[in-house]
Amino acid sequence: MLLVRRLRNTLLGCFRCNIMMVCLLVAFIITVGMVLVSEPVSTEELMGNFLSFSKMDLATKRDRPFYPSCVDTQDYLSNPLYAKQNASFVMLTRNEELRDVIKTIKSIEEHFNQWFHYPYVFLNDQPFTEDFKAKVRDVTTGSNVEFGTIDEIAWNFPSDVKDTFEFHNAIENQGDRSILYGSMESYHKMCRFYSGLFYKHPLVQKSEWYWRLEPDVEFFCDITYDPFWEMTRNDKKYGFTIVIPELYWTVPNLFRHTKSFVRKNDVTPGSLWKLFAKDYNVFESDDAELRDWINYDFDVKPKVSEKIAIEQLLKKGNESERINADKEGIMNLVNRARSKKHIVEDKFSNEEYNLCHFWSNFEIARLSVFDNEVYNNFFQFLEESGGFWNERWGDAPVHSIGLSLTLDLDDVHYFRDIGYRHSSIQHCPHNAMGGKEFPYVTSDPRFKRKKNAAYDKGRDFGSGCRCKCPKNKLDVEDTTGFCLNVWVDLINQERGRELRVETVNGNQIERNVREDYLKEFGN
C-alpha cells in the first residue's frame, strides 16, 4: 500500500508540471495517434519522433554550456587571461579494480587531461599495491599522481555502532527487502565516506576544486576548455551532468531528518532547495483546517464547495420546506463524516522530497561547498541519526540536499556538453550544428585517432565537441525527464521568482463559491 501511495502522489504531482511537460504530453499523443493510423514503426522510430529534452535548447541566461562547440585548445591555453586552477581528480577505488581504473584514466586523458594535466588523487581503505601505482602512473600523461589510505575513523562506522546487533540486523534486513546494495556493508561505508568525509582527507584538502571519477567510466566528447577555470570566472560552484530520481526505499527518512536539522539550526536554504523539495503550500486561506485538507490544485474547488454547502446547511437547520435546497449540504456533510483527511505521509512542514538528486559519481565542485559550517553540521546530524546504516542513504541525495542548504540555482552549472557514462546510465549530447570544428590535435601519441575519424552529425541546439555517442541507447535526458524538467523550469524563471510559490487565493475563491451557492439556493 505504501508503494501504491507513492506512485499515486507522483502521478498527482505531475498534474502540476509546467507548460513544457504539457507540450511533451501533447506531442506524445499526436505521435501515437499518427502511429495508430499508419504503418507499424519500431520503438526507436517512435521515440525519435517524440519531442524530447535531448532535442531542445535548454540554454538560458542563467545557465548554458560555457562553449557551444569545440574551441582551439592551444589558443585557449596560451591566452594570457587563462589561469590553471588548484584542482585535482579524486577517485575512491581498490586494488582489484585496476582494469576499470585504467579504462577511466585513458578516457579522461584522451578527451581532456592530455592537454590540461591536472593531478590525480586515488584513495583506498587499504594500501595500494606497487603494481597498482606503477600501472596507473603509466597511463597518465605527465600529471602528478598521489595515493592515499583512508584511516579507520573515516572509513568505518563508530565502534559503538558497528559492533551492535542493531547495526548488523539493519544491514541484513535491507538485503532481505532487496534494497539495492542495502546488504553490502562496504557500500554503506562508501556512501558515508563520500557524504561527509572525503573532502577532509589530507590529499584532497590540498586542492580548492575537485572532479570526481569512478572506475569504469567513459567520456564520449572532447572537453577542449578547462571546466575549473570556466566555473571560476562564471562564479559557479558545483557542476553536474546527470540529474535523476533516487529509489524511494533507500532514503525514506532522509528528508524528515533534513527538515529537523533545518528547523533546529534555523537554516535558510538557498534557491537550489526548490529543485529537490515539492511545496504543498498551494492554497492560501484564513481557514487553517481547509488549508490542511488541500494538497493539490484540483482539491481546491471540491473542498471549498463542500465547506460552503455544509456551512449553509447548518445555518438553515432542519426546515422541511427548504429540504430540497439542503440536499447538497446533507450529501457533503455525510461525505465529510465518512472521509479521512488525506495525509501525504512524506510531507514535513508542507514540503516533500521529490527524490531528485545530482548523480554524484560525476561532479565538479569547490571543496568549500562541502567544507563549511552548515554542511559539516548537516553531515554530523545525519551521522547521529543512524541513517547511513539503518537505511541505505546514498551520497548523491545527501550531497544534493546538503548543497541546497547553502547554494542558489545560479551557483550550479549543467555540463550538458560533457558526454559521460557510468554503469548503465549515460548522457551524451548532440554535437553543435554548424559549429566551428577544430581538428583533434593530440599531445600524446597513445591517443592518436584515425585521420578521418567519424563523429556524430551536428544537430540544432547541440553543444558537444567531437562527440561519438553509443547507438541504440536513449539519453538519460529522455528516459528520466522529471528531474531535468524541474531544473529547466526553475532555471527558466527570473532570479528570485523561483522562491515564490504559486498559491491559490482561497479567501477569494471561497467568496465566489459562496456567492454562486446563494444565487442558486437563496439565503
Query: Does the pLDDT value for residue 145 go beyond 80?
Result: yes
Query: Does the pLDDT value for residue 30 go beyond 60?
Result: no
pLDDT average, residue stretch 89-116:
98
Q: How confident is the model at residue 522 (pLDDT cuts 50, 70, 90)?
A: low
Percentage with pLDDT > 90 across the chain: 63
Query: Does the pLDDT value for residue 399 go beyond 90?
Result: yes
- Which of 259 and 24 is assigned the larger pLDDT? 259
Closest to 217 measured CA to CA, from 415, 463, 427, 70: 427
| All cell numbers assigned to 269 | 536554504
Closest to 493 measured CA to CA, from 112, 62, 141: 62
| All cell numbers assigned to 241 | 551532468
**97 is an active site residue:** no
pLDDT average, residue stretch 394-416:
98
110 close to 466: Cβ distance less than 8 angstroms: no
- How far is it, in rounded angstroms, from Cα 191 to Cα 361? 11
pLDDT of residue 321: 41
Q: How confident is the model at residue 11 (pLDDT cuts 50, 70, 90)?
A: very low
| All cell numbers assigned to 473 | 541507447
Query: Does the pLDDT value for residue 329 go beyond 80?
Result: no
pLDDT of residue 452: 79
pLDDT in tens, 62-98: 999 999 899 999 999 999 999 999 999 999 999 999 9
**Choice among 97, 352, 363, 391 that is catalytic:** 363
pLDDT in tens, 237-251: 999 999 999 999 999
Q: How long a stretch of residues is the chain? A: 523
The distance between the two most distant Cα atoms of the chain, rounded to a whole number of Å, is 97
pLDDT of residue 470: 92
Of 85-99, 197-211, 269-283, the range with the lowest mean pLDDT is 269-283
Query: Does the pLDDT value for residue 504 go beyond 70?
Result: no
Q: Is 394 exposed, middle or buried (0-12, 13-18, 19+ CB in 10 A)?
A: buried
Percentage with pLDDT > 70 across the chain: 72
pLDDT in tens, 423-475: 999 999 999 987 667 889 998 889 999 887 889 999 888 999 999 999 888 89
Of 81-95, 118-132, 212-226, 442-456, the range with the lowest mean pLDDT is 442-456
Question: Hey, what amino acid is at 250?
Answer: T
pLDDT average, residue stretch 316-344:
57
Of 118-122, 328-332, 435-439, the range with the lowest mean pLDDT is 328-332
**Mean pLDDT score of the chain, rounded to an integer?**
84
Closest to 195 measured CA to CA, from 452, 391, 421: 391
Query: Does the pLDDT value for residue 319 go beyond 90?
Result: no
pLDDT of residue 497: 74
Q: How far apart are the first and last CA of the chain?
A: 45
Long-range contacts of 513-519, Cβ-Cβ distance < 8 Å, separation of 24 or more: 513/301, 513/304, 513/305, 513/308, 514/308, 517/305, 517/308, 517/309, 517/312, 518/312
pLDDT of residue 1: 37
- How far is it, in rounded angstroms, from Cα 130 to Cα 423? 28
